[in-house]
Amino acid sequence: MENRILGLHHITAIADNAKRNLDFYTKVLGVRLVKKTVNFDDPGTYHFYFGNEQGEPGTILTFFPWEGIGKGTPGAGMATHIGYAVPQGSLDFWKNRLGEHQISLQENEIFGEKLISFNDPDGLQLQFIETKDDRKAWTTTDINAEHALKGFHNITLSLKEADPTLKVLTDILGYSLQQQNDNRYRLTTDSIDTANSVDIIADKNLPYGKNAAGTNHHVAFRVKDDNVLMEYREKVLSAGLDITPKIDRDYFFSLYFREPGGVLFELATDNPGFTVDEPLSSLGSALKLPKQYESYRSQIEQTLPKID
């Protein structure tokens, strides 16, 4: 089982304003800031990681808050909707809480699951889905365990056509098609019980999206360790797709490839995790820099936007 894809690892999106992004996810949605670092390729930009207490794979939503980048457009070739699992019976709490913050929402049901859909301040499309989920959530003074976000339930990919991406998900990543309703597909993996679903919406008339604030940058799938990671690299190469060498992201090791529908996929390891450079009790409290930038700390700290 451990040599399989273990569902979602993390999802990375783009924001337009670091403080607004941080405040919304920690204060309104009540997830934990588990790591405050910078973009590997642009150290003047934060990289925030939000998750549960330990930042367990399957709970981690990360952001590149590029100040003033402007609004993007979700569309074909993108992951477009992030689905969070919330406790059964908690949707009324969330409807009230979002209403208090003047956030409009829609109620819906997809594949028999009750959910609410809404946008974050940048327009990123979020869905809260009532489902049985035994993961321990991060709680706050305002949001207790009966209502708190458990982590991801699913990710939705919007595509011009489904078949090429279905083939990657099933033949390479080991997912199985479970349900289809018209042009919506749901794939799951039985290697894990949570964060294990990928939905596809296929529409040949859907315009292509534009990556900027309010859109997803990439979707990362979880593997146990480096050895499994490199096994999947060979599988991707054997399927005729280009894939990067292994990259050290400090808290996990990664490979990146673009699936035929245009979505950027990442494969990421469990090891070494977020406590490699700060204790569990103080995760996210200090600015952590990739080692190649540590000697530039003072300049970077002056460049980064103020978030306190």
pLDDT tens over the chain, length 308 residues: 469 999 999 999 999 999 999 999 999 999 999 999 999 999 999 999 999 999 999 999 999 999 999 999 999 999 999 999 999 999 999 999 999 999 999 999 999 999 999 999 999 999 999 999 999 999 999 999 999 999 999 999 999 999 999 999 999 999 999 999 999 999 999 999 999 999 999 999 999 999 999 999 999 999 999 999 999 999 999 999 999 999 999 999 999 999 999 999 999 999 999 999 999 999 999 999 999 999 999 999 999 999 98
Cα 172 to Cα 38, 192, 194, 206, 224, distances in angstroms? 31, 17, 20, 26, 16
Please tell me the predicted confidence (pLDDT) of residue 1. 47
Decide the pairing of beta strands 184-188 and 125-130. unpaired
Two structure tokens written together for 244? 């990067």
172, 4 Cβ separation under 8 angstroms: no
Give me 160's structure tokens.
Answer: 């011009």
The reported pTM is: 0.97
* Nearest CA-CA partner of 280 in 29, 46, 34: 34
Residue with tokens 């028999």: 112
Domain 8-303 indexed as CATH 3.30.70.20: no
pLDDT for 191 equals 97
The residue behind tokens 């590029």 is 66
* Cβ-based neighbour number of residue 111 at 10 Å: 16
Alpha-carbon gap, residue 183 to 155, rounded angstroms: 16
What confidence score (pLDDT) does residue 199 get?
98
What whole-number distance in Å separates Cα of residue 273 and Cα of residue 294?
20
Other Cβ atoms within 10 Å of 102 Cβ, number:
6
Closest residue by Cα to residue 56 from 35, 72, 86, 74: 35
The tokens of 69 are what?
A: 């980048």
Q: Identify whether the C-beta of residue 269 lies closer than 8 Å to the C-beta of residue 253.
A: yes
Q: ∠ at Cα 200 (14, 77), nearest 5°?
A: 45
DSSP-assigned letter for residue 146: T
C-alpha 303/C-alpha 223 separation (Å) is 35
Long-range contacts of 31-35 (CB under 8 A, 24+ apart): 31/59, 31/61, 31/138, 31/149, 32/138, 32/283, 32/284, 33/283, 33/284, 34/60, 34/274, 34/283, 34/284, 35/251, 35/274, 35/283, 35/284, 35/288
d(CA 235, CA 252): 20
